[in-house]
Amino acid sequence: MEKNNKYDVVIGLEIHLKSKTKSKMFCSCLNNTDEKNPNVNICPVCMGHPGTLPLINEEAINNIIKLGLSLNCDISSYTKFDRKNYFYPDLPKGYQISQFDFPVCKDGYLDIRGEKGVKLIRINRIHQEEDAGRLVHADNDVSMVDFNRAGVSLIELVTEPDFNSAAEVINFVKELQLISRYLNVSDANMEKGEMRIEVNLSLKKKGEKKLGTKAEVKNLNSFKSVERAILFEIERQSNLLDKGEKIIQETRGFHDAKQITLSQRSKEESHEYRYFPEPDLPPLEIAKERISKLKGEIPELPQEKRHRFEAEFGIKDKKILEIFIENKKFGEYFEKVATEILDWMNCEKIGESKYFDLIKLSCNYLTSDLIGLAKGEITDFSNKISPENFAEFTILVFKGDINSKIAKIVLKDMYDWGSDPSHVIESKGLKQIDDEEEIKRIIKEVLDCNDSAVMDYKKGKLASFQFLIGQIMAKSKGKIKPDKAREALSEELENIK
């Protein structure tokens, strides 16, 4: 259980994001997550061969500056690279080029949804480094090394220990993922290892100021793993403290199948890495002009878009709102639909009071029926249904020209064939029946076939009226507007003595 009455939960995060660049951090090899063949995108530089020299990737530095600016960080005018020394089989140089005392970004923050409203999470630093390779463990107890990932540009973000629950951590990580995608600095696909989370968690007695001993859980690659690792660690550490045992500062891994964390090694301190300045790279000075230019390239970010969508489109349903925010292209598609609706209203001189009703109707069809037709895939649907055609479809439903049953038929045809709604309605004979004589004819046929229901209605059984309406709608295949059907049926029944 996450909630407990004896201990405060304290969590800090270290997050690695694969920077979206064409080449690796210090060489010209391709940065390609989807490469299936091992050891294809490698060269003497990223393999650490003697006599080779690294070269700083300008695009990667621009990416980390943009992310830092979006997270309210101070951007350093002076930064440098350092060697982080440790041995691991997939680290070809025997050290990692990283940053120690002069990171690119520092002292930022991000507001998230906390347990008691909005909560500010402090960001200690964001620094630039290179990734290691990847170990592949075969079934015959043989481990192989794929160096395609070695040297890839990696952004590391370190928070302060400001989280107190798994929910807060998930909210932060999801928002960071969204921001990275909006900025186009990282796809942050956790399944592909483009976003990896390390959780530092400790417990302390309620009200105590001194932090407890932390355990680090490394390389979590899904939101579910992050949540379950935190919940397990809270329970594990609580049980140890309840027994009077000490928490060991260590690095742990998460076992997906067993849903538990396992000890891997004692936690290294920074001095154990023997950091020293990277001798093959000069210090990097970041000019104010460069920062200013990159700041001007930052688009509307998720939180800004949420506020605008709530105000501009009156979207109050949080689930619908998040579908548009989390799926940027789908949100842009919706905005195009909304623009077309507004243009129609202006042409028809329809009052603004109806605007939010139309928008709400379009939202409902977009986030339920359209996504349903796409079998859950959420994207820009312009290649299936143009925003103009979807807006026209919404307007036809709003005006009552087609009912909800016919609307589903029309929308499916539009999705399957890219047709405009008016053409679908005309070609399939789905147009509403407006001719009064035709409506009377259909009602008369229904009444002639349902004498007992007519007699029951005359005796005061009002349920018979609804039954007759159902028969009329079935007879007309839903092509008579319900209001017109009720009005015409009432008149016909009044005429029956």
Mean pLDDT value across residues 353-369: 95
Tell whether 181 and 112 lie within a shared domain: yes
Domain span holding position 381 = 302-427
Radius of gyration of the chain (CA): 31
Check if the beta carbon of residue 22 is closer than 8 Å to that of residue 30: yes
- For residue 42, being part of any structural domain is answered with yes
> Residue 242: inside a domain, yes or no?
yes
Q: Are 56 and 86 in a shared domain?
A: yes
**C-alpha distances in Å from residue 187, one per residue of 19, 178, 280, 335:** 8, 9, 30, 23
Taking a C-beta distance cutoff of 8 angstroms, is the pair 217, 20 a contact? no
Q: Distance between CA 430 and CA 403 in Å, rounded?
A: 10
165 lies in the same domain as 289 = yes
What are the C-alpha distances in Å from 11 to residues 158, 214, 218, 311, 324?
Answer: 11, 9, 13, 34, 30
Say yes or no: 65 and 186 in one domain. yes
Q: Please give the pLDDT value at position 410.
A: 96
Q: Which amino acid is at 92?
A: P
Q: Give the number of domains in the chain.
A: 3
Residue 143 within any structural domain of the chain:
yes
Q: What is the mean pLDDT of residues 40-49?
A: 96
* Three-class SS of 74-87: EECCEECCEEEECC
Q: What tens digit of pLDDT does each residue of 169-188 get?
A: 999 999 999 999 999 999 99
Q: With bands split at pLDDT 50, 70 and 90, how would you rate the model's confidence at 2?
A: low
Query: For 192-232, how does the pLDDT look when each residue is reduced to its tens digit (9 = 90+)?
Result: 999 999 999 999 999 899 999 999 999 899 999 999 999 99
Domain-embedded: residue 259? yes
Q: Please tell me whether residues 98 and 77 are part of one structural domain.
A: yes
* Residue 1 belongs to a domain: no
pLDDT band for 235, please (50, 70, 90 cuts). Answer: very high
What secondary structure does DSSP assign to 196-228, as a single string? EEEEEEEEEETT--S----EEEEEE-SHHHHHH
- The residue out of 241, 265, 296 marking a domain boundary is 296
In angstroms, the CA 467 to CA 484 distance is: 16
Say what the pLDDT of residue 316 is. 92
Domain final position from 379, 410, 427: 427
Query: Is residue 449 included in any domain, yes or no?
Result: yes
Same domain for 351 and 451, yes or no, is: no
The verdict on residue 19 lying in a domain is: yes
The pLDDT, as a whole number, for residue 207 is: 86
Q: Identify the domain boundary among 269, 296, 323.
A: 296
Residues 209 and 288 in one domain: yes
pLDDT band at 1 (very low <50, low <70, confident <90, very high): very low
Asked if 241 and 150 sit in the same domain, the reply is yes
* Percent of the chain surpassing pLDDT 70: 98
Q: What is the pLDDT at residue 267?
A: 66
H-type helices in 54-184, by residue range? 58-70, 166-183
Which pTM value belongs to this model? 0.88
Same domain (yes/no): 225, 357: no
